[in-house]
């Protein structure tokens, strides 16, 4: 089974590049709710149109942020050599 998550490191780096210090500030500037941003960064929610809005605001390509991790029956993740496999590396 494959779990789809977001490359949160890239999003946090872009926040630093844009001098955005908190998720609250990112939420206010991007128009995406703070709980939804937190869910994306922690891998707890499916991606939706608000994810695209967040990517547009941060000037990031959504395809480059989507990660695929294999999940074992016991619930543990198996990561690629770089910690993940990105959509555009298939």
Per-10-residue mean pLDDT for the chain, 90 residues long? 78 95 96 91 76 89 81 58 44
Query: What is the reported pLDDT for 12?
Result: 93
Query: What is the reported pLDDT for 85?
Result: 45
Query: What is the reported pLDDT for 52?
Result: 84
Decide: 67 and 60 in contact? Cβ < 8 Å: no
Query: What is the reported pLDDT for 80?
Result: 44
User: 2-89 domain in CATH 1.10.260.40?
Assistant: yes
CA distance 25 to 29: 6
User: Up-side HSE of residue 42: CA atoms within 13 Å toward CB?
Assistant: 9
Query: What is the reported pLDDT for 67?
Result: 81
Beta strands in the chain (DSSP E): 2-6, 66-71, 77-78, 85-86
Tokens of 48: 């939706």
Query: What is the reported pLDDT for 89?
Result: 43
């Amino acid at each position: 089974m494959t779990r789809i998550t977001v490359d949160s490191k890239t999003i946090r780096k872009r926040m630093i590049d844009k001098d955005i210090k908190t998720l609250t500030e990112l939420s206010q500037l991007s128009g995406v709710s703070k709980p939804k941003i937190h869910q994306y960064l922690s891998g707890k929610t499916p991606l939706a149109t608000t994810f695209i809005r967040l990517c547009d605001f941060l000037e990031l390509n959504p395809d480059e942020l989507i990660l695929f991790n294999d999940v074992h029956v016991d619930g543990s993740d198996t990561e690629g050599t770089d910690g993940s496999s990105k959509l555009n590396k298939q």
